[in-house]
Structure 1
Amino acid sequence: MLGKLEMFIALSNERHFGRAAESLGITQPTLSAGIKQLEAELGVKLVQRGSRFGGLTPEGARTLEWARQIVGDARRLREEMRFSREGLSGHLRLAVIPTALTWASRLAARFSAAHPNVTFTILSRASTEILDMLDNLETDVGLSYLDNEPLGRVTTQELYRETYALVCAPDDPAAAKETLQWADLEGQSLCLLTPDMQNRRIINRAFMDAGLTPEARMESNSTVVLVTHVEQGGWSTILPTDMARSLAKGRDLAVVPIARDLPGPSVGLVAPYQEPQTPVLQALLDEARELAN
């Protein structure tokens, strides 16, 4: 039944038989047969079918909750048994907000050096997507904001507090200052992250607190695009300080810190709440705690 429950979870995630089958590396007829067999075993209809996927039935929605729990527990059991056989090994899927990618690389590099038998997949995702991916078992752990939006029942480990900097041309008047206030940014021709990104919402609030409205004349969900746009001239952008310095390195750009009266947003690991954690995930949480100190 476990394999059929994994098929059912994939179908719920993709909401399309073809894409779900592709994500599992099986054929669509195999997936359809597996779902029908699961329905027969449970004695209820799980999926509304027509010419295409029509959503879950009420029984399907309830089954999905159980399926996630059962499959998640089975995966944790496999991790425990692998640890007893091979020590710390396996593969970790890490979903990361775009502005924390430099920290994700730092954490993964430190962890891999200490535990070379653990491999990583790191994906850039919005904060809301990360929570959905954790619920849907599509990622093992997230790296996201911890205190700006409800996270639900999860385990967290803070890595750092976010600070901000203006990235601009070296001949921009703002580049001559050691530190900027948010009020100093009035009139800057900005390119910023898109409004669906939590970092953009944080920046918008900072401007509002200063009595300003940011003039975002270009938006992108890629920090690389923003910095490259600034490099073309006539623009500036606002990024977390660590990422701003990383992306501006080797470019003819200035990075000027923006002062903040209160501590910035907390950013760290977000993992499904479970006791105990798998050995690999617990080791990653421990590594994050050491990196934060």
Structure 2
Amino acid sequence: MEERNMTHPKDAQQYNTDRIREEYLVENLFVIDEIKTVYSYGDRMIIGGAYPKTSLNLTLIEVLKSEIFLERREMGVINIGGPGIIIADGIEYTMDNKDGLYIGMGTKEITFVSVDAENLSKFYFISTTAHCAYETSKINHSDVDAMELGTQESSNQRILYKYIHPDSIKSCQLLMGMTTLKPGSVWNSIPPHAHSNRSEVYLYFDLPEQEVVFHFMGKPTQTRHILVKNEQAVISPYWSIHSGVGTKNYSFLWAMAGENQLFSDANSIELKDLK
């Protein structure tokens, strides 16, 4: 397990490329037959990747100081690999590519399973603190509420899928979903925004090996970029913008945690005000 501390925006303005990547970029999240976790002190989010050859059990990490992983937490999972199964307290949930699962607080045992040795599952998960329990629920990708956004002229035509959200699967504070850019589009979250009461994490995927995304972060008048490759994640502090442009179209998973679950409270930033 890795730990990532909170950073002050004035300190971040002094970081060089290596320090920015050290603080905000999550690499090597998917290692065959391992569960990797990163504990971010921004809203106490845990970022994880499970890449089982056959099956992997989620075990407790010491920093939680609890009896079970989800004693005071909830979790969202989206499978970005081959077909698999998640077993939560003895109940099996079949997980095809891009299917999602919400796992409620108090769930004691979680197992990640691959069912095709030639096409292993890749389970990406986010866990956030919780103060009440909601029912564990699966959502098929084909059933997820989808929104068409952007225009071809702006190179940002995309589809936003709301997996864990007040309009679909309810949670205590976790929000989680996916955005897929259409062929020919490369920009995400433009114009950019920030939300001072929530941290956010992006996981970029469906990106060919030779392609990259330039993820933009920082205060609007002190922007920086992080060069991101396939299946790498970026931690976005509450004070930072989060947007990006790729050398090809791609997808990303987004997850948020904070004081509320409203999208409308984001602070929109006009392009003319960026520096």
Query: Normalising TM by the smaller chain, what interval?
Result: under 0.3
* Higher RCO (CA 8 Å, separation ≥ 6 residues): 1
Larger Rg: 1
TM-score, length-scaled by structure 1:
0.23
More strand by share: 2
TM-score, length-scaled by structure 2:
0.24
